[in-house]
Structure 1
Amino acid sequence: MKKPIIAIAGLTACSGCQLTLLNCEEELPEIAQRFIIDYFPLGLTERLITGPIDVAIVEGAVSTPSDLEILMKLRNSSHSLVALGTCALWGGIAAMKNQESRKDLAETVYGSAADGLKTFNPQPLHRFVKIDFAITGCPPETGELLATLAALLRGTFPVFPHYPVCSECRSRENLCLLIERNEMCLGPLIQAGCNARCPAVGIGCEGCRGPVTEANVAAETELLLKKGFPMDEIVSRMQRFYPEWDYEQRS
């Protein structure tokens, strides 16, 4: 059977999503045996996109002309393109301050050196190219990444959960932090797949996996307001990983 040719790239991001793959130490030898890795700057010395590529896996948001150039090259060279992680899929942490002046933000970080920077508001991949599949998370779950690679060997993509984190909380019989402890928890709005890891140890869901399909954002917002949380705090928490919530949306 022909080995799939893959590329793995990082744009504006922390590289944590790619490190999720490199941390699969036991599985790496088999991955290297079953795939031809055409391009992977974080893991290979060669940094040229040669193509053609069966599947490009891309981490990070697009915030520079260089990011966009790499993304376009990969899209044009690949049969399928996978958005890897919350930044690639939703904008993520990189897009938290998109409502503020990009120039002012750059000057705050880089000072006078900001004048030479070519940068724009970080955007998810789908604003520029077609996305064929997504693995959400900050970083993604190891199991979901490996399941995707296994599915690629069969020429398909896996099916991941499309229900909220609350469902996993109930399966684990966790105490509801939102209802029973009156703590801010975004579990009702966020896509499952993490096995409610944070609520299980008493930490409210931060929303790192992005919105579940048909999230009832308005109801969650109303509930949090009734519990005494100010709107600016609610917005700040919800925008941490997904900056484009519609606060009037009802499922």
Structure 2
Amino acid sequence: MERKELDEARMQGQTEIWWYMFSFVDSMALKSVVELRIADIKHFHGVVITLSQIASCISDDLASRDITTLARIMKFLKGLHRLPFFKRWRSLYDLTHSSRWLLHDTKQTLAPMHYFSHCIKEGGPAFQKAHGREIWDLASENLEFNGLFNDGMECIAKFVTNAILLSYKQGLSSVGLLVDVGGETRGLISEIVKAYPHINGVNFNLPHVISMAPAFNGVSHIASDMFCAIPNADTVIMKVLA
């Protein structure tokens, strides 16, 4: 390998290491946009929006606004090397197909997933190492965390629901009693029962999850632990996150 090629290869290797070292900046910028509800601010206005309009909706206090930092974040996400999250014409901003998934209070949203931070340490479950307890124990003690966690799981359930309803029609037509084990607050089971009214659905989960589950016609909520027993049924659904 010639000296020039070797130098270029080394520089490319350095670039790759720098990219891995600072790739966390992508998620940090995205997390700030979700927490500040910038996508929601733009969506609420209905038209392209200026940086000043975004800042005014974030804070009424002119003195506390840091538009320079906001501009840097927006510019960073607009020009993200893999997936731009905002369109920009001169000083006007608009949503992309990607940033629409960051809208809160929509049927299909990934925004709740960004509220969770991950702490990984050597040995044992990472969450338990970071918080001194299992995630289920924390959720049962902290209502706010319980709500955020349930919202995040509902995001995933919506995608699973669409796949089941589109590809498993024959199997569901013969089901009388369906139990969703670990069924969040009822997202998956309620959509299946809505599409197949003849099915009696059971949402089976831990007590602190069931306590936040809304009522839905055709769905019963049972609070218990699946490691102790699961209700008898024609069909049982259990989602596994790998």
Q: TM-score when scaled to structure 2?
A: 0.27
Larger Rg: 2
Q: TM-score when scaled to structure 1?
A: 0.26
Which is helix-richer, 1 or 2? Answer: 2
Higher relative contact order structure (alpha carbons within 8 Å, sequence separation ≥ 6): 1
